[in-house]
Amino acid sequence: MFFHHMVVNKPLKLVYCFVPKAGCTFWKRAFYYIQKTQENEYMGSLFDIKKDEIHRLGMDKLTEVGGDFASKYAFLNDAKKIIIVREPYSRLFSAWVDKLFLPDFWRYIGVPIVQNYRSGAGITALQCGHDVSFYEFLRYVVDIGRATTFTVQQFDDHWLPISRVCQTCHVKYDIIGRMDDFSRSRDAILTSTGMHKYIATNISSMETDIDNIKLNIEAYWFTSQKNPKCISQYDLLTRLWASFQFQGFLPSDMPLQLDIVKANGQLTMEGFLKLVSDAHVHFIKESPKRGKVQRKEAMIRAYQTVPRYLLYKIKDLFHLDFSLYGYDPEPMEIFG
């Protein structure tokens, strides 16, 4: 699993350990884009790669370097090693929003959580796993994280500690970027590694925000058609809208008004994308700092539903992430 997480670029002698919910969408795209450019294949823009394609990209990984462990380790030892870290409480909240509030991991993670952590669950919840609460999710994370053995499905890097996914006690990373200062870390890494020769620095936050919005809408738009028993189109779009509010892309007090984006009585993906994008641009221009504050407020509200005993278990599970990366294990806004 560790070698699988190490993306490499041989010409630049780089190794990047990708961490889900810590900017890996951008960095996977970046490594793939540079790899294809070096192979003289025209790629257009790295932002053209869709969400459902990102994790299937044919990127070079440490698993394909050399023929034995010694060869892989020699390359790893000589290369410049990169990792992006994120505050654990924020990362867990983001994972719940992206994978369980939105209809992504409902069947193989949501259903087992409902089965194991909810007494008297209804038939729909048991079949769909569509309404897992943040509290139920954290109970699952703690149990899986403390297990000594688990299935491949249970080993999900979205909510295991970064120190465990990327083995930071055994690998000395040369560059450690921070998700909480992503733009600055991104540009510093691109410049210091030579990647800026392929990818421009100073990408605007507006461009990355619109890209994030577009990725999610494209990824989930047809979900309700594929599984109408678990979620209707209206409920899906309501959740997408709320997720953008959680991320600070849209004002928290702005209601979803679908009627204004219907074309000839039909709601289109392009119309919904325009509605969200226009609202985001207006929000950021009017209140440029509000989004970050709102994002933190949404996370705090979620943790207020979590009992203190469970917070301490999360703190214990992620103790290495807190100590290695310099994050507060008991932030006042969460622990009170």
Q: What is the pTM of this model?
A: 0.94
Task: Dump pLDDT digits (tens) for 39-54.
Answer: 998 878 888 887 777 7
Q: What is the pLDDT of residues 120-141, one digit of tens each?
A: 999 999 999 999 999 999 999 9
Q: Is the dihedral of CA 142, 312, 92, 188 positive or negative?
A: negative
pLDDT of residue 320: 96
Looking at residue 153, what is its pLDDT? Answer: 56
Rounded CA separation 193/13 (Å): 9
Query: How many CB atoms sit inside 10 A of residue 39's CB?
Result: 8
User: Which pLDDT score, from 0 to 100, does residue 112 have?
Assistant: 94
| pLDDT confidence of residue 68 | 82
pLDDT at residue 58, as a whole number? 79
Determine the Cα–Cα distance for residues 281 and 260; give it in Å rounded to an integer. 17
Chain centroid offset of residue 210 CA: 16
Residue type, 20: P
In the Cβ-directed half-sphere of 22, how many Cα atoms lie within 13 Å?
30
Which residues in the chain show pLDDT less than 50?
none
